[in-house]
Amino acid sequence: ALQERVEALTSEQCQHLARVEEQLARVDDHQDTLECLQSQVENLETSLEENDGKLSEIQTTLLQARLEGLVAMDERVKSLESAVKAPSEELTEQSSGLSERVSALEQGFEDICKKVDDFGEVPLLSARPSISISTLELGGGSADRLQPRQLDLSSPNSTPAKDEPT
């Protein structure tokens, strides 16, 4: 009976050892899996740091390129503004000069008409001809505000009348 009891305990111990060995094998498998996962996590962390560095570098490059583009556009706008300003000032000066010349011509024509009136009736000049001098109405030196007008010179005190543009 004691022998049977020893054999039963030995058999039970063998089964227990077999289960422990299976569990140790599973623990080893889990340990290998855990080490593999830890290695993958380390690789992912390294990749993440590298990607963060690359992303930061790309963002810096893009910001720098954008800043350079904005500076270039600003310089171009300033260049265009100065290119427009010079002709505008020149047109203002020219329009002032043209206005003075038109006024002088009108005054000269009025003087001639008065002299003709003072001279008396001349058969060929008995009726003052209706003469139109095409001039430009200049205002503010802006080229888009230039409009043709007609001067009716049939009377000495006539004022310029706007003519329909053709």
Say what the pTM is: 0.38
The answer to whether residue 32 scores a pLDDT higher than 60 is: yes
Residue 120, pLDDT score: 63
Per-residue pLDDT, averaged over 122-126, amounts to: 48
Confidence of residue 147 (pLDDT cuts 50, 70, 90): very low
Residue 134, pLDDT score: 47
Q: Which domain holds residue 119?
A: 2-162
The answer to whether residue 22 scores a pLDDT higher than 80 is: yes
Per-residue pLDDT, averaged over 85-111, amounts to: 83
Residue 139, pLDDT score: 45
Per-residue pLDDT, averaged over 99-127, amounts to: 74
Mind spelling out the 3-state secondary structure of the chain?
A: CHHHHHHHHHHHHHHHHHHHHHHHHHHHHHHHHHHHHHHHHHHHHHHHHHHHHHHHHHHHHHHHHHHHHHHHHHHHHHHHHHHHHHHHHHHHHHHHHHHHHHHHHHHHHHHHHHHHHHHCCCHHHCCCCCCEEEEEECCCCCHHHCEEEEEECCCCCCCCEECCCC
Confidence of residue 137 (pLDDT cuts 50, 70, 90): very low
Is 28 or 142 the better-scoring residue by pLDDT? 28
Report how many domains make up the chain.
Answer: 1
Residue 121, pLDDT score: 55
Residue 131, pLDDT score: 46
